[in-house]
Amino acid sequence: MGLDIRWPIGLMFTLIGVLLAGFGLFNRAASLTKVEGQDININLVWGVVLLVFGVLMLIGANHGKKNPPAA
Rounded CA-CA distance 57/65 in Å is 12
Domain of residue 48, residue span:
6-66
The whole-number pLDDT of residue 13 equals 98
The whole-number pLDDT of residue 22 equals 94
Q: Domain total for the chain?
A: 1
Helix (H, G, I), strand (E, B) or coil at 64: helix
Q: Is residue 71 part of a domain?
A: no
Q: Is residue 44 part of a domain?
A: yes
**Which residue spans within 1-71 are E strands per DSSP?**
32-35, 38-41
Please list the residues that pair with 39 across neighbouring strands.
34
Q: Is residue 28 part of a domain?
A: yes
Confidence of residue 68 (pLDDT cuts 50, 70, 90): low
Q: Is residue 40 part of a domain?
A: yes
Q: Is residue 42 part of a domain?
A: yes
pTM of structure: 0.81
Q: Is residue 1 part of a domain?
A: no
Q: Is residue 45 part of a domain?
A: yes
Per-residue model confidence as pLDDT tens digits over 5-53: 999 999 999 999 999 999 999 887 777 777 777 788 889 999 999 999 9
